[in-house]
Amino acid sequence: MEQLETFIVESPDTVGAKTTKVLIQDTLADLSLNRVIGRLKVFVDPVEPVFIFTALLRLGTPAIRLKDFAKVEMGSLGKDEVRIELQREAHTVKLLNKLWEKYGKDNIEQPDKKIIVVKTDPIKEVDVLRELVIEEPQAEVLDRLIDAVALRIIPEGFRVRKHELSTSHILFVASEDTLKPEWIAKAKEMLESMRREEENA
Amino acid sequence: MLEPVMYTGGVYKHNQMVELVEDLGGYILQKNVMQTEVVLLMLVPINDMAIVEEKAKELLGKVTRAPLTGTEIATVAPTLAYHHLPHLDCDVAEFLRKQGSKTNMVGLARGVGKRICQLTAYERDLINEHDLAVFILGNYEHCIIEKSKRLYEGIEIPIVVTGAPELRTEDVPNATAYVGNFGRILHHMRHSEELRTLDKLAEVIGAVFDNVRKEIAKDPPSVAPPRIKKEIEEQVQEIIDSLHPLPITLQMNGVRVKLPYEEYHEQIENIRFVEGVTMKEVARVLPSKMRNFILIRALPKSETGFVI
């Protein structure tokens, strides 16, 4: 496993902290999230009870659009069609699924391995198609991250939750009782301290 | 009193062991043949153990005590979510099964949290049908203690609790025994220390069962549970067609029969033993909370006045 730069689980209960650390490692490995998280700090106090999970993220590649791997042009003169010429075939399956969903199977033709013809109004649709999002690795990773944190790591009984999620960080505060403002402040402080570490590194 | 033991040895001549145990009035509960090796789970009259051990020596096999044999254990998880399954719960259930017990997994509907956890009446009754319940709890000492104060309300069978911290049994309220080093583990337990922890659990459960057996021996059941099993197998043909795992599950004080109660309870109540008594004279035939199965509880000698 690739080591996270910061990975701290704090708790007044040392045995609990140790097992929670193993538990977080297992979950991140199961969902292959090790590379996504840069720094991670967790605070647990079972007496209060509160569970705070904060992490800085490294999300990698942004969304992939059609224009990134294909030439999108108007079709032959006088015909209502858009011609897509693929430069890489990696995303073809996902692309076809998206096109079928949007325009219907009848309106999609693939005369050649690398050429797809969409029967639609070219003037309106060419730009739309160019910007069509084929794959969103970031969103997928965030989905998995939420799955890991909200559904697997945070103790089940902690049903009162507050979360913050962006492309750069994730913050979860959970408890069995009403959340206290100082917990949220503590969570923000933990996040800030990690940001400072990141800057100084 | 019958002693639960496991015999491991070669397939060659193992029938001699089977016959010896049956002749001594013991029971063969399970026979697993694995290529050239055979594993027998059996109940042997305690006074005749020496003869069985002698025979094992002669056949170059080994007889070991297996206190979990012939028992039914409920492994209880606070819920059926990723937090507890599949790893820890299934590992515990499977390990206890390998030791000779039948385990049933129970996931509670509202078992989460230390303040908000609850046990429904149905869950309580279902768990009470077993010989012992293993509650698989989590990482934090405070939570385990707080939760134990309220979660086991109404459970009359022995309770074994597992969790991460090393606590003394006295510190965990309402628990019969506590086993540490577990906690909420989200990987398959296969390292040597983890296996040792599981061994420890089996050992603790075995000790609890031994105490229960001693208690039962003071007022023994009028009919031994394996005898009930044998008679049902011989007299109720339909049990052969039951596809449930262990259609007749042994418990320490009775059996669970996996046949519908409405159709079969009368037939089972009227089963006649060679001694001349019927089942309803020596045992109570009850509807089980598990599906529509039948639960048979042997009556103690103090109630019937005789033992067959």
Domain boundaries, chain A: 6-61+137-200, 64-135
Residues of A in contact with B81 (CB under 8 A): 151, 156
A161 touches chain B (CB under 8 A): no
- Per-residue pLDDT at A28 exceeds 50: yes
Going from the C-alpha of A140 to that of each of A59, B130, B274, the distances in angstroms are 10, 44, 69
| Structure-model confidence comparison of residues A34 and B236, the more confident one | B236
**pLDDT for the residue B165:** 93
A30 touches chain B (CB under 8 A): yes
**pLDDT for the residue B245:** 86
Rounded mean pLDDT, A120-137: 86
Chain B stretch 138-167, residues whose beta carbon is closer than 8 A to a beta carbon of chain A:
138-143, 164-166
**Inter-chain touch B186–A30, beta carbons under 8 Å:** yes
Number of other CB atoms surrounding residue A48 within 10 Å: 14
Whether omega before B86 lies within 30 degrees of 0, making that bond cis, reads yes
Distance from CA of B185 to the nearest CA of A (A): 6
Q: How high is the mean pLDDT of chain A?
A: 89
Confidence class of residue A1 from pLDDT cuts 50, 70 and 90?
very low
Distance from C-alpha of B111 to C-alpha of B108, rounded to nearest angstrom: 5
Distance from CA of A136 to the nearest CA of B (A): 26
Comparing CA positions, the residue from A42, A31, A35 lying closest to residue A1 is A35
**pLDDT for the residue A11:** 93
Residues of B in contact with A151 (CB under 8 A): 81-82
- Per-residue pLDDT at A130 exceeds 70: yes
A131 touches chain B (CB under 8 A): no
pLDDT beneath 70: ranges in chain B: none
pLDDT digits (tens, 9 = 90+) for B183-214: 899 999 889 999 999 999 999 999 999 999 99
A159 touches chain B (CB under 8 A): yes
Which of B117, B143, B187 faces A26 most closely, judged by CB atoms?
B187
A160 touches chain B (CB under 8 A): no
Let me know: does A52 contact A178? Beta carbons within 8 Å. no
- Per-residue pLDDT at A145 exceeds 70: yes
Number of other CB atoms surrounding residue A13 within 10 Å: 20
**pLDDT for the residue A3:** 64
pLDDT digits (tens, 9 = 90+) for A65-119: 888 888 888 877 778 888 899 988 888 888 999 899 988 999 898 888 889 988 8
Beta-ladder partners of A130: none
When scoring A14, A18, A19 by the number of chain B Cβ atoms within 10 A, the one with the most, hence best to mutate, is A19
Distance from CA of A19 to the nearest CA of B (A): 6
Confidence class of residue A59 from pLDDT cuts 50, 70 and 90?
confident
B181 touches chain A (CB under 8 A): no
Rounded mean pLDDT, A28-40: 89
**pLDDT for the residue B298:** 95
Helices B192-218 + B87-98 axis angle, to 10: 60
